[in-house]
Chains A and B, each alone.
Chain A
Amino acid sequence: MTGFLTLLYKELLRFWKVGFQTILAPVVSTLLYLLIFFHVLKAHVEVYQGVSYAVFLIPGLVMMAVMQNAFANASSSMIQSKISGNIVFVLLSPLTYREIFFAYILASVARGLLVGAGVYLVTELFFETPIYWPVWIWIFAILGSGLLGALGVIAGIWADKFDQLAAFQNFIIIPLTFLSGVFYSIHSLPPVWQFLSHLNPFFYMIDGFRYGFFGASDFSPYVSLCIVIACFTAVSLLAIRMLRSGYKLRH
């Protein structure tokens, strides 16, 4: 257990020491999204009855920040250790593959939750977002950041260079996030896009997370939960398998 806790501690310390970049900066940029979308769209959209657009937007943006930062944490930590070569100190140690995996994703969950909490707290200075069912909020925030952390581990192991990692982020993570209903309810979309959104696992994370705030969502949170758990399990198994096989880490 000490080995696992140490790696977790190291991963936490790694982003905490540069908290300005890893926590504060993403909080600020998410708030900028809120500001821009709110001003552009406030007059046009009312998704749920009695819920203003800004208040509808806040949970989506919080979850987006949670997911993006969880991904960024695991992937950048992995690729930095790989490129600078200091991953060797972990690889030489008797840490098991599962210990390495869980340390990386738990640190990612922690960073995701910190940024998400930061965004939420600042928005509450200006708006009042209801909290209908906190348990769902926690469940989806933790599973969502865990899933993105696991994706980050995979991307960080796979990428040999920073631009490959950026490609993974730009062509997979960002489109899936933006097309997951952060900024709108998918009921407002044409049927084809609705169908495509239903194939996007990120959609269920946002939808379930939002349910925790409003008690209303496009899908039942139980359905979303099952889908998110299935995705989390599949991605985690793949990440652990990559670690075990030594893919790109051990020749």
Chain B
Amino acid sequence: MPAAIAVRNVCKYFGAFCALDHVDLEIQAGEFFALLGPNGAGKTTLIHTIAGLSVADSGSVHVMGSHVVSQYRQARRQLGVVPQELVFDPFFTVRETLRIQSGYYGIADNTAWINEIITRLGLADKANTNMRTLSGGMKRRVMVAQALVHKPPVIILDEPTAGVDVELRQSLWDFIRQLNIEGHTIVLTTHYLEEAEALCNRVAMLKHGKVIALNSMQNLISTMAVGYTLCLKLQPDTSLPPALQEKKTGCRNGCVELKIDNYTQIESILAQLRQAGIQIQEMQLLQPDLEDVFVNLMNSSLPQTQ
């Protein structure tokens, strides 16, 4: 079975600017894959080269074994893409939009499946509403539905939850998780790292057009995240002694956060606080998460691919 998506040595330039720098990436069928990176890292550009919206300057891209340029028809039939920008055709209703999108893929009568995705995405009572009058979140759901009309084995979602309220985000993820369980390969980008951590089993991190990390979610967190976060709630009107200030990484809900490398440092921190006569009201030790890895990677300059 071919890889769901195979990106080999892809470079993409906009003028002299290098948006994708020798990207090598293989995503297997059935994976739930996260493509992460700060704004401008090249995530959307990479998705565009996979979808044929943009053409790589060098290297090759295959979707389910079909080359995205020379075999674009087969490749595009295997792929459903939810673009990052909120776009719609103001001339049509939700149902018309989905019927037309099915037709583009050569499906003359898709009523049963359209009804199913409309229901599963909570669009049933908007089916005959004009696209123009839908809220942003609803338009986003229609875009997801449009990407699914031809039941593609590979689905790519570019920031599907940007600007979407919490409740919708949750139901959208439930739906996408269900699709993954049914066998679809899912690739997504998101700025909500806790969502990616909860959903995805593998991650690639992009920075300046380069893949700087590619690993399973578990490995990435256990190997890349150094240290823990110690949260302390101090007695009111006191502050950390100067010696500890440099370990402080933040302040949340009235707790100060200290970065530590291992458990043994807790001992000395507590000793220093006791010496300074400061009482601790609450204490919590946080395990590293994807966000720590992300911050680490984005601040370091060494590539960490394995």
**Co-complex (A, B):** yes
Which A residues from 44 to 94 make CB contacts under 8 A with B? 81, 84-86, 88-94
In the assembled complex, B90 has its CB within 8 A of some CB on chain A: yes
Contact of A89 among B72, B77, B89 (CB under 8 A): B89
Say whether B103 faces chain A, with CB atoms less than 8 Å apart. Answer: yes
Contact A88 B53 (CB under 8 A): yes
Min CB distance, A48 to chain B, in Å? 44
Within 8 A of A (CB), among B85-123: 85, 87-92, 96, 100-108
Contact A94 B77, beta carbon cutoff 8 Å: yes
**Are A86 and B87 CB-contacts (below 8 A) given A91-B53, A92-B51?**
yes
Residues in B with CB closer than 8 Å to A86 are 87-89
**Is residue B83 within 8 Å, beta carbon to beta carbon, of the partner chain?**
yes
* Residues A3 and B54 in contact, CB atoms below 8 Å apart: no
Give 1 or 0 for each of A1-38: 1 = CB within 8 Å of chain B CB: 01101110110011001100000000000000000000
Neighbouring A residues of B107 by C-beta, 8 Å: 2
Rounded to whole angstroms, the CA-CA distance of A224 and B111 in the bound complex is 48
Q: Across the interface, do A2 and B103 meet the contact criterion of CB distance under 8 Å?
A: yes
B85: chain A residues at CB < 8 Å are: 85, 88
Specify which chain A residues have a CB less than 8 angstroms from the CB of B14 in the assembled complex: 251
Give the interface centre of B48, B87, B146 by most chain A CB atoms within 10 Å. B87
Residue of B nearest to A7 (CB): B104
**Which residues from chain B contact A81 at a C-beta distance below 8 Å?**
89
CA distance A138 to B255 in the complex (A): 81
Binary interface encoding of chain A residues 235-251 relative to chain B, with 1 for a CB under 8 A from any of its CBs, else 0: 00000000000100011
Indicate whether B207 reaches chain A with its CB closer than 8 angstroms. Answer: no
Q: What's the Cα separation between A92 and B80 when bound, in Å?
A: 8
CB distance from B220 to the nearest CB of A (A): 31
Contact of B104 among A13, A17, A93, A251 (CB under 8 A): A93
Q: How far is the CB of B79 from chain A (nearest CB, A)?
A: 8
Residue numbers in B under 8 Å from A250 (CB-CB) = 52-55
Interface size on A, residues (CB 8 A): 27
Query: Across the interface, do A94 and B88 meet the contact criterion of CB distance under 8 Å?
Result: no
- Do A246 and B81 touch (CB < 8 A)? no
Chain B residues with CB under 8 A of A246: 55
Instruction: Tell me, yes or no, whether B76 is within 8 Å of chain A by CB.
Output: yes
Residue numbers in A under 8 Å from B274 (CB-CB) = none
Tell me if B73 is interfacial: C-beta within 8 Å of chain A.
yes
Q: In the complex the two chains form, what is the Cα distance from A18 to B26 in whole Å?
A: 47
B83 contacts A88, C-beta separation under 8 Å: yes
Asked if A139 is at the interface (CB within 8 A of a chain B CB), the reply is: no
Residues of the A chain whose Cβ atoms lie less than 8 Å from the Cβ of B55: 246, 250-251
Residue ID in chain A nearest B143 by CB atoms: A89
- Answer whether residue A41 sits at the interface, using C-beta atoms and an 8 A cutoff: no
Task: Please pick, from A13, A17, A96, A251, the residue contacting B73 in the complex, using a CB distance under 8 A.
Answer: A96
- Judged by a CB distance under 8 angstroms, whether A95 is at the interface is yes
**Residues from chain B with Cβ under 8 Å of A6 in the complex:** 100, 102-104
Q: Complex Cα distance A9/B101, Å?
A: 12
Flag if B73 contacts A94 (CB, 8 Å).
Answer: yes
Centre residue among A17, A88, A96 by max chain B CB count within 10 A: A88
Q: Out of A84, A94, A251, name the residue touching B76 (CB < 8 Å).
A: A94
On whether the beta carbons of A85 and B87 are closer than 8 Å, the reply is yes
If the complex has contacts A91-B53, A246-B55, are A9 and B103 also in contact, measured as CB distance less than 8 A?
Answer: yes
- In the complex, A42 Cα to B28 Cα: how many Å? 76
Given A2-B108, A84-B87, A94-B106, are A89 and B101 neighbors across the interface (CB < 8 Å)?
yes
Cα distance, A17 to B14, chains bound together (Å): 39
Q: Which B-chain residue is minimally distant from A93 (CB atoms)?
A: B104
Q: Is the CB of A84 within 8 A of B90?
A: yes
* Shortest Cβ distance from residue B88 to the other chain A in the assembled complex, whole angstroms: 6
Smallest Cβ distance from A220 to chain B, in angstroms? 43
B146 cross-chain contacts in A, Cβ below 8 A = 89
Q: Provide the bound-state CA to CA distance between A89 and B48, in Å.
A: 13
The complex places the Cα of A81 from the Cα of B89 at a distance, in Å, of 8
Given the complex of chains A and B, what is the CA–CA distance between A86 and B96 in angstroms? 14
B72 touches A94 (CB 8 A): yes
10 chain-A/chain-B pairs, Cβ below 8 angstroms? A2-B107, A3-B105, A6-B103, A13-B91, A88-B53, A93-B105, A94-B105, A94-B106, A246-B55, A250-B54
Cβ-closest 4 pairs across A and B: A6-B103, A93-B104, A85-B87, A94-B73
Can you name 11 extra interface pairs (CB under 8 A) apart from A3-B104, A92-B51, A251-B48? A2-B107, A13-B96, A85-B83, A85-B87, A86-B89, A88-B53, A89-B101, A90-B104, A93-B105, A94-B77, A250-B52
